Amino acid sequence: MIDTTRDTLKTSKPVKAVGLLSGGLDSALAARIIRDLDIEVYGVYFSMPWGCCDKEKAGTAARQLGIKFIVLQLDERYLEMVKKPKHGYGAALNPCVDCRIHMFSRAAQYMRHIGGDFVFTGEVLGQRPMSQMRQSMKKIEIGAGLEGRLVRPLCAQLLEPTVPENEGLVCRDRLLRMSGRSRRPQMDLAENYQITEYNQPAGGCLLTSHDFAKRMRDTLDHGYRNFRETIALKWGRHFRITKEFKAIAGRDEAENSALQHYAHPNDIILEFPDKLGPTVVLKGDHPTREILATAAGLIQHFSKFKDQPPRTVHYWPVSDRNRIQSIDAAKLDPAYVQQIYI
């Protein structure tokens, strides 16, 4: 069993650290180790709409550990990074090294804001091919402006000592030497700490999915108006009608309402008056009748009226629910629908 119960080194000034919390086991273990060193821990959670993290679990972990919990939102700067990552992509559109640099540098800003001493993460050396190899870990630390101030408690003994260790703020003997892809050591430690509630290791980041990557690439190439509307990339069927217009059709009630909720004020909502078909969100400014009829045609194509004469569809701008107008759905060739599908 790993012993992390000895007393920390004592210093006169209270030590503060910012830890990244994902809702997974590794970040919770790292936070526990640092908290047990009598260090004031600020758990930071990055709200990433297509990510693998779990805000609820991260919040629960913070509560159970008795540490502060701060949620930071990603914004357009993150999308710009995804568009052109300095260190390239993984298997799909996942810029893991730059993604970490982005998040860690924001955690670093927060650390400076609270007068903190270091940032820590639950990374394990060699656990992930792109971002947790020795060389990338160093690159991330430097890229985030955290040279010597990024502590990885789960594998610190396999890495060079950091500034807080050298200054005696963190006792290196209390840090661990985990490496590789096996989860056994983390699970043993979780048992030791009686931590039972945690997310299974990631794999849920949508940027690693080829299907999602196509949609995201399409959005980055054709432009977006704000970060919020890109949240809708994870729901529905997406169609690129022209360079300027795109339509998204919900696949069920939950998606229909989520798509409306995250629509941009300039988008148009289209539905059958009797709602017996999907809701479509048409993205783009000032659509022509032809574009509107195509978007309406998608509703009919994905409804039980697919092979029936064109039906009337209601549409209105997101910004004014009362401006309802009507249009007849265009009859869409299945090959065309396939061709515009993203």
Site of interaction with ligand SF4 (CB under 6 A): 51-52, 94-96, 99-100, 131, 205, 207-208
- In the bound state with ligand SF4, the residue whose beta carbon lies nearer, of 58 and 170, is 58
Distance (Å, whole) CA 181 – CA 178: 9
- In the bound state with ligand SF4, the residue whose beta carbon lies nearer, of 100 and 246, is 100
- Per DSSP, the residues of 277-321 read S--EEEESSS--HHHHHHHHHHHHHTSTTTTSSPPEEEEEETT-T
Instruction: Compute the least distance from the CB of residue 120 to ligand SF4, in Å.
Output: 17
Q: Longest C-alpha distance within the chain, in Å? A: 80
Using a 10 angstrom Cβ sphere, with 0-12 exposed, 13-18 middle and 19 or more buried, the burial of residue 17 is: buried
Instruction: Compute the least distance from the CB of residue 117 to ligand SF4, in Å.
Output: 25
Instruction: Compute the least distance from the CB of residue 94 to ligand SF4, in Å.
Output: 4
- In the bound state with ligand SF4, the residue whose beta carbon lies nearer, of 234 and 264, is 234
- In the bound state with ligand SF4, the residue whose beta carbon lies nearer, of 52 and 241, is 52
Strand partners, 327: 313
Distance (Å, whole) CA 128 – CA 152: 14
Q: Is the dihedral of CA 221, 227, 228, 232 positive or negative?
A: positive
- In the bound state with ligand SF4, the residue whose beta carbon lies nearer, of 96 and 332, is 96
- In the bound state with ligand SF4, the residue whose beta carbon lies nearer, of 131 and 279, is 131
Instruction: Compute the least distance from the CB of residue 252 to ligand SF4, in Å.
Output: 26
Instruction: Compute the least distance from the CB of residue 20 to ligand SF4, in Å.
Output: 11
Instruction: Compute the least distance from the CB of residue 37 to ligand SF4, in Å.
Output: 27
Measuring CA to CA, which residue among 49, 61, 44 is closest to residue 198? 61
Q: What are phi and psi of 149, to 5 degrees?
A: -120, 20
Distance (Å, whole) CA 79 – CA 202: 21
